[in-house]
Chains A and B, each alone.
Chain A
Amino acid sequence: MINSTFFFNILRFILLVLTQVLVFNNLNFFGYINPLIYILFLYWYPVKQPRTTFLAISFLLGLCVDIFSDTVAINAAASVTGAYFRPVLMRFIFGVNYDFQSFKLRNTTKVQQFTFLLFLISIHHFTYFTLEIFSLRDSFIVLKRTLVIVPTTLLFCTLFISLFSTQKE
């Protein structure tokens, strides 16, 4: 278990949290658009790992972002939700391939990867904004924020993925 992947994931964890809180929390496009790019951790995390560990790490990830951005535990809740639904999404999008032992995210098509990312971000953001506003009175704002911020996050995540892509063709 303790190998280069392990350290690589720790490094990724720290870098993503710092990028999120020091750069992306200060973007404030049009006053309120701050993409939540730390979700990329859930996207990049190795597939065949114990799910409980994954949930625990995601919780920790969210909590770290929460502490930095004074949002109590909203990011933690959203991140755990995203982590829990990740295998479900993967089976839904990648189909039978996902059950093979040799399944790797980079072997799938671009469209599949993009759809996966889109669904992951949507689930995460919807939980996040629902909890942030936390009353049905303002359900319009939840919808508006989710609809506006999901594409922004998606854009930045796609940029990051292509930037740090390890694919050698």
Chain B
Amino acid sequence: MQQIINFVIRYKVFLFFIFLFAISLLLTIVSNTYQQSKFLNSANRISGNFYKVSNNTVSYFGLREENERLSEENQLLRDRLYNRTLLYKQPLDSTEKNYTLLRGKAIKNSFANQRNYITIDKGSNDSVKQDMGVITAKGILGIIENTSAQFASVQSILNEKSNINAKIKNTHHFGSLVWNTKDYSTVQLVDIPRLVPLNVGDTIVTGAMSSIFPENIPIGKIVSFDLDRSKSFYYIDVQLFNDMTNIGAIYVIDNLKKIEIRSLENETELDD
């Protein structure tokens, strides 16, 4: 016993070091296999407010660009509005709507890490919840991972854990959108069968498989493609429409039918 105590006293610095290192390692490994830590993220009150203050100052320098982007988006939407050919009934009852949108602002962005997260200035007070989709006017951005009262952190598509259902526009060939962590302007589309005809320049949009994003939200265009190791699927490099280094206004999408879809899926799985 005496010897054990002596040992502990003698090596207390080393043991303390190992202890602290083990804690951080454990936290890292847990977040590797599972998801971002509930508490150690920048959406908490203190860091969220710091980023908000800093963003309030910095965002003034990008106002011109931001205005340009918004008017571009307005143009696109008006174009769609005036060229509407199908008869479209505006639902009078909000329960008939499939999606609701909430506008917000990115107050912290990163793209240099392996796992990038964006912090936005909307949180659970604005009924933002986990697993809602986040987009910008140009394309998809990511999925809500954690929320606090006023802020939420978004798992960016530039995150090695990100996996989003995507397809080639105007077809139903879908695959998964992942990121190989190499370049912040390109992501990869995998699991597209080799019999699908592809062309460089084809547009990639979100698929109908996910209950997070509506179908046909633009993602990017194909810059190159190759067969993967199994030689039966394509490995496609997709250049993003979004400039991930410059994120301003964002929209949070809530699928109002998500609960219904999820419960149906769960039931089906249970029946198997």
Binding site for B on A (CB under 8 A): 18, 21-22, 25, 28, 31-34, 51-52, 55-56, 59, 62-63, 66-74, 76-77, 80-81, 83-84, 131-134, 141
Contacts and interface: CB of A to CB of B under 8 A. Distances in A.
**For chain A, what secondary structure do more than half of its interface residues adopt (helix, strand, loop), or is it mixed?**
helix
Interface of B: 12-14, 16-17, 20-21, 23-25, 27-28, 31-32, 36-37, 40-42, 44, 47, 50-51, 54, 110-117, 119, 153, 181, 183-184, 245
A77 B113 CA distance: 16
A28 B32 CA distance: 24
A80 B17 contact: yes
A33 B112 contact: yes
A22 B28 CA distance: 23
Contacts of B184: 31
Q: Most chain-A CB neighbours within 10 Å: which of B21, B54, B110, B115?
A: B21
A69 B27 contact: no
A55 B42 contact: no
B5 to A, nearest CB: 17
A73 B112 contact: no
Contacts of B183: 31
Contacts of A52: 12-13, 16
Contact of B31 (A34, A72, A80): A72
A22 B40 contact: no
Contacts of A73: 23-25, 27-28, 40
17 contacts: A21-B50, A59-B24, A62-B24, A67-B44, A70-B36, A70-B110, A70-B117, A70-B119, A72-B27, A72-B31, A72-B37, A73-B25, A73-B27, A73-B40, A74-B24, A131-B25, A132-B114
